[in-house]
């Protein structure tokens, strides 16, 4: 759940009267006739071929899939002859750098706000000094180490708490990679907004008072200044490696899987890991300062570019075990949603290994060794400008990242909790029957009072009724949905208190959840645990791998480990995986594969509901988010098919879908699911479970035979009565004797035709 509020504070950018003129003593490295290309690397052989061209890799890590590389034009010609597919992302790198230079060196920056331009180190620190001087009650600073070239590594703490070491802390590192200028710019905007918003903005004030924000704006000051003085595209530190080469990759030097895949032992490499874990003063500074602030709850390392929100692990393809994995995922998805809510920029939330493995990162270290929740941001953009992002994107980037940190802050102070329905949320409940719902409510950071959990319900807009929920396990509660008449709509939400007295209201994104009270008749229901005669693959299918199978799934990085049924183990998936399987193992490749239900007798249904659980992933590989899974229905034995839904959401989780379909006049009905990997190859995995076809209706009280409320007594009603034959279903037991039988059939036939 997220509650998005707008920030009413008018932000004024402080003008410090500084000029950004550059030291020009050193020769500036030029990138004339260089382009950045995005290569689609499908095999290790292609990867070796690409790397042999010796370009500057702009992607954060190296692996199969998309890689952005800067190359001189002549080698782009060579690349074209290798057959590796690529597209040009930046046609003239030097032109972008020249534009930036002439803007900063010239008069272009006179009068522009501080956050309308990038700033070198001295100016950034002057900005923080001014911030500290303006609100000494909120801002404190300290030196946390010294770089190889003797520059101070500074940290700033923003907090309105009397004792900032006694409140939960968020630790944010920026500027670890020198050329990623948008990182310190964005985080400085955050610092400015937190300080100036305190006392002026109702949302920011408590998040500054109740939390401590530790900010390291330039974790790699030597490298950053080098990008201003000498080489705009420098990434590493400025350590002299002793062989004429310079620099260690800050983000491969941490003691978490140090030396593993996605890092290099070659001193000249942009991912050179250093001589040992924490061999560098720039990483030692972070290690020691996080340790010196044991109230740190979440750690952020802010990079660019690619628009990603990443959580551990990068060094292998696992995620933190137990609830911590789920908390990382939930927070990561909440962060991405918060970012998108501001400017519509889509940031993909995913474990760091989803793209490539990378070892020795601050992210994995923060979780493994420091024991705090950890995220890496890859900020704007997705490759149009890459590292040379125009400065008019600083404030938009600042605002969207600010929103994500306000969300995280609210999670941390406990004004939010996570709600989940482990057995599913009932969008329909039976008539005149109380229904229990299992509810899971948890908070990553705040202690909840389980005795305070209540459910609130309201039937058809009537009075709001509050009932306690009973404890059903750790973080689990049973809520009772009250009995109601057919056709009623029940609104429902949940409340819980934190042990320090905050009340958290848990609702859907649009307010209370809604439940329809209807009479449901099941015509077909399959939890897939036994073989009910589905067809796996059709003539004409052309997928080469990932063909539908009915199995107890083995999870890969893209395919579920468990089915959706409870109880149950078996579902349909696109190709079985193997233990520890990689992202692309036996996913759908090369075309389409179809999953078709058996023929289902739907005689007598007018309006039916097709419901199923699905899993779908298509957000990785060479052309992510391009594929989808159509769901189609046929009522003529498979001769013609009609689209009823298109699944394309990358939940990486089981989701339920219910679709209303007109089945009037049908006798036999089939539904099919077509999973495809079309065009450029990508990772596509799908799964289906818990499929049903039902009708939902309320009888017409003034017209006893009109079971489906259609205004006449007809075949639809006959179908419902026959479906309830022999049961005590009150909606079909027309004479109320407790059994649906011939007497009821007689009454129905006697009233055949339009209702009076």
Strands 592-596 and 629-634: unpaired
Our CB check for Ca ion shows the closer of 487 and 568 to be 568
CA-to-CA distance for 505 and 495, rounded, in angstroms?
5
CA-to-CA distance for 371 and 355, rounded, in angstroms?
24
Nearest approach in angstroms of CB 177 to Zn ion is 3
Nearest approach in angstroms of CB 468 to Zn ion is 50
| Mask for 260-299, x = binds Zn ion (CB under 5 A) | ----------------------------------------
Nearest approach in angstroms of CB 37 to Ca ion is 23
Question: Does residue 539 have a cis bond before it (omega within 30 degrees)?
Answer: no
Our CB check for Ca ion shows the closer of 379 and 675 to be 675
Our CB check for Ca ion shows the closer of 447 and 752 to be 752
Tokens at 299, concatenated: 């750690």
> Which of Ca ion, Zn ion, none does residue 354 bind to, with CB < 5 to 8 Å depending on kind?
none
Q: Which residue in the block uniquely carries the two structure tokens 């095999």?
A: 43
Nearest approach in angstroms of CB 621 to Zn ion is 22
Our CB check for Zn ion shows the closer of 60 and 677 to be 60
Contact 222, 132 (CB under 8 A): no
CA-to-CA distance for 335 and 61, rounded, in angstroms?
22
Our CB check for Zn ion shows the closer of 303 and 345 to be 303
CA-to-CA distance for 253 and 360, rounded, in angstroms?
5
Nearest approach in angstroms of CB 8 to Ca ion is 47
> Which of Ca ion, Zn ion, none does residue 393 bind to, with CB < 5 to 8 Å depending on kind?
none
| Mask for 120-159, x = binds Zn ion (CB under 5 A) | ----------------------------------------
Nearest approach in angstroms of CB 173 to Zn ion is 11
Our CB check for Zn ion shows the closer of 151 and 303 to be 303
Nearest approach in angstroms of CB 405 to Zn ion is 19
Torsion of CA 734, 736, 742, 748, to 10 degrees: -10
Nearest approach in angstroms of CB 587 to Zn ion is 29
Residue 173 phi, psi (nearest 5): -110, 130
> Which of Zn ion, Ca ion, none does residue 303 bind to, with CB < 5 to 8 Å depending on kind?
Zn ion
In sign, the C-alpha dihedral spanning 289, 294, 295, 296 is positive
Our CB check for Zn ion shows the closer of 310 and 687 to be 310
CA-to-CA distance for 716 and 703, rounded, in angstroms?
14
CA proximity to 556, closest of 620, 612, 613, 631: 620
Nearest approach in angstroms of CB 570 to Ca ion is 5
Site for Ca ion in 566-605 (CB under 5 A): 568, 570-571, 574-575, 586-587, 589
- Out of 440, 480, 565, 628, the residue judged to bind Ca ion by CB under 5 A: 565
Residue 85 phi, psi (nearest 5): -75, 140
Q: How many Cα atoms are found within 13 Å in the side-chain-facing hemisphere of 470?
A: 6
CA-to-CA distance for 206 and 161, rounded, in angstroms?
10
Contact 506, 494 (CB under 8 A): yes
Our CB check for Ca ion shows the closer of 378 and 563 to be 563
Torsion of CA 163, 165, 166, 168, to 10 degrees: 120
CA-to-CA distance for 353 and 619, rounded, in angstroms?
14
CA 282 to chain centre: 31
Outline where 669-712 has alpha helix (H): none
Let me know if 497 is a catalytic residue: no
Site for Zn ion in 154-213 (CB under 5 A): 177
Does residue 189 sit in helix, strand or coil?
helix
Nearest approach in angstroms of CB 448 to Ca ion is 32
| Mask for 494-533, x = binds Ca ion (CB under 5 A) | ---------------------------------xx-----
Nearest approach in angstroms of CB 681 to Ca ion is 5
- Out of 117, 563, 606, 717, the residue judged to bind Ca ion by CB under 5 A: 563
CA-to-CA distance for 179 and 523, rounded, in angstroms?
62
Our CB check for Ca ion shows the closer of 242 and 742 to be 742
CA-to-CA distance for 605 and 633, rounded, in angstroms?
15
Site for Ca ion in 667-686 (CB under 5 A): 677, 681
Between the two ends of the chain, the Cα-to-Cα distance in Å is 48
CA-to-CA distance for 710 and 521, rounded, in angstroms?
15
By CB under 5 A, is residue 303 in contact with Zn ion? yes
Contact 721, 649 (CB under 8 A): no
Region binding Zn ion by CB under 5 A among candidate stretches 165-173, 303-311, 379-387, 719-727: 303-311
By CB under 5 A, is residue 353 in contact with Zn ion? no
By CB under 5 A, is residue 696 in contact with Zn ion? no
Our CB check for Zn ion shows the closer of 175 and 553 to be 175
Site for Zn ion in 633-692 (CB under 5 A): none
Number of H helices, E strands in the chain: 13, 36
> Which of Zn ion, Ca ion, none does residue 689 bind to, with CB < 5 to 8 Å depending on kind?
Ca ion
Residue 495 phi, psi (nearest 5): -130, 145
> Which of Zn ion, Ca ion, none does residue 487 bind to, with CB < 5 to 8 Å depending on kind?
none
Does residue 512 sit in helix, strand or coil?
coil
Our CB check for Ca ion shows the closer of 408 and 693 to be 693
> Which of Ca ion, Zn ion, none does residue 744 bind to, with CB < 5 to 8 Å depending on kind?
Ca ion
Active-site annotation holder among 180, 333, 378, 491: 378
> Which of Ca ion, Zn ion, none does residue 500 bind to, with CB < 5 to 8 Å depending on kind?
none
Residue 677 phi, psi (nearest 5): -120, 100
Region binding Zn ion by CB under 5 A among candidate stretches 37-45, 258-266, 302-310, 480-488: 302-310
Torsion of CA 316, 320, 325, 327, to 10 degrees: -120
Site for Ca ion in 683-742 (CB under 5 A): 689, 733, 735, 737, 739
Interacting residue ranges for Zn ion, rule: CB under 5 A: 177, 303
Residues annotated as part of the active site: 378
Interacting residue ranges for Ca ion, rule: CB under 5 A: 527-528, 559, 563, 565, 568, 570-571, 574-575, 586-587, 589, 677, 681, 689, 733, 735, 737, 739, 744
């Amino acid at each position: 759940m997220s509650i998005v509020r707008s920030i009413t504070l008018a932000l004024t950018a402080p003008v410090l009267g500084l000029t950004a003129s550059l030291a020009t003593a050193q020769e500036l490295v030029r990138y004339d006739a260089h382009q950045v290309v995005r290569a689609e690397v499908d095999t290790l052989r292609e990867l070796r071929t690409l790397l042999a061209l010796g370009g500057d890799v702009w992607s954060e890590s190296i692996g199969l899939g998309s890689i952005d590389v800067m190359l001189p034009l002549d080698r782009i010609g060579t690349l074209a002859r290798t057959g590796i597919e690529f597209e040009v992302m930046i046609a003239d790198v030097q032109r972008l750098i020249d534009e930036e230079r002439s803007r900063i060196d010239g008069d272009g920056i006179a009068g522009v706000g501080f956050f309308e331009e990038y700033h070198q180190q001295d100016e950034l620190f002057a900005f923080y000094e001014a911030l500290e001087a303006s609100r000494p009650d909120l801002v404190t600073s300290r030196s946390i180490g010294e770089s190889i070239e003797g520059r101070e590594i500074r940290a700033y703490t923003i907090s309105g708490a009397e004792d900032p070491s006694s409140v939960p802390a968020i630790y944010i590192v920026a500027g670890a990679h020198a050329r990623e200028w948008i990182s310190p710019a964005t985080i400085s905007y955050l610092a400015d907004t937190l300080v100036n918003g305190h006392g002026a903005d109702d949302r920011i004030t408590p998040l500054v008072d109740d939390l401590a924000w530790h900010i390291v704006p330039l974790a790699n000051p030597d490298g950053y200044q080098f990008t201003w003085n000498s080489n705009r595209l420098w990434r590493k530190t400025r350590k002299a490696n002793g062989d004429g080469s310079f620099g260690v990759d800050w983000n491969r030097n941490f003691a978490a899987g140090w030396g593993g895949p996605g890092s290099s032992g070659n001193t000249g490499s942009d991912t050179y890991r250093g001589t040992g874990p924490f061999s560098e003063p720039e990483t030692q500074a972070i290690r020691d300062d996080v340790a010196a602030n044991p109230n740190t709850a979440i750690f952020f390392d802010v990079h660019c570019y690619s628009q990603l929100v990443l959580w551990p692990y990068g060094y292998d393809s696992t995620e933190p075990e137990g609830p911590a994995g789920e908390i990382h995922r939930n927070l990561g998805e909440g962060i991405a949603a918060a970012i998108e809510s501001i400017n519509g920029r889509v940031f993909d939330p995913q474990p760091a290994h989803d793209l490539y493995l990378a070892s020795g990162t601050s992210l994995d270290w923060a979780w493994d060794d420091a024991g705090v929740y950890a995220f890496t941001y890859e900020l704007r953009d997705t490759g149009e400008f890459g590292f040379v992002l125009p400065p008019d994107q600083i404030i938009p980037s600042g605002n969207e990242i600010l929103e994500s940190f306000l969300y995280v802050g609210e999670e941390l102070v406990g004004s939010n909790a996570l709600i989940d329905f482990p057995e599913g949320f009932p969008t329909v409940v039976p008539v005149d029957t109380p229904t229990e719902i299992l509810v899971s409510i948890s908070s990553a950071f705040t202690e909840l009072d389980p005795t305070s959990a209540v459910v609130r319900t309201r039937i058809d807009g009537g009075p709001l009724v509050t009932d306690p929920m009973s404890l059903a396990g750790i973080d689990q509660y049973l809520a009772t949905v009250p009995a109601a008449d057919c056709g009623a709509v029940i609104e429902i939400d949940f409340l819980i208190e934190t042990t320090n007295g905050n009340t958290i209201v848990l609702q859907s994104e649009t307010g209370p959840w809604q439940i329809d009270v209807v009479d449901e008749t099941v015509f077909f229901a399959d939890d897939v645990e036994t073989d009910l005669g589905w067809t796996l693959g059709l003539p004409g299918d052309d997928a080469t791998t990932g063909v539908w199978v009915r199995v107890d799934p083995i999870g890969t990085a893209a395919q579920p480990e468990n089915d959706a049924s409870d109880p149950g183990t078996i579902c349909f998936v696109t190709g079985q995986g193997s233990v520890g399987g990689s992202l692309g193992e036996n996913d759908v490749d090369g075309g389409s594969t179809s999953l078709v239900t058996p023929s289902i007798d739907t005689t007598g249904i007018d309006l039916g509901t097709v419901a199923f659980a699905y899993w779908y992933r298509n957000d990785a590989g060479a052309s992510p988010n391009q594929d989808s899974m159509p769901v189609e229905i046929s009522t003529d034995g498979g001769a013609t098919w009609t689209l009823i839904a298109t699944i394309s959401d990358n939940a990486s989780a089981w989701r339920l879908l219910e679709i209303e379909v007109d089945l009037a006049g049908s006798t036999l009905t089939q539904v099919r699911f077509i999973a495809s990997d079309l065009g450029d190859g990508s990772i596509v995995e799908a799964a289906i479970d818990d499929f049903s076809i039902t009708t939902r209706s309320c009888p017409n009280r003034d017209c006893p035979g009109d079971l489906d409320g259609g205004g006449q007594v007809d075949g639809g009603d006959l179908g419902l009565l026959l479906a309830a034959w022999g049961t005590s279903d009150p909606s079909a037991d027309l004479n109320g004797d407790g059994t649906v039988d011939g007497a009821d059939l007689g009454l129905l036939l006697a009233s055949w035709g339009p209702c009076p």
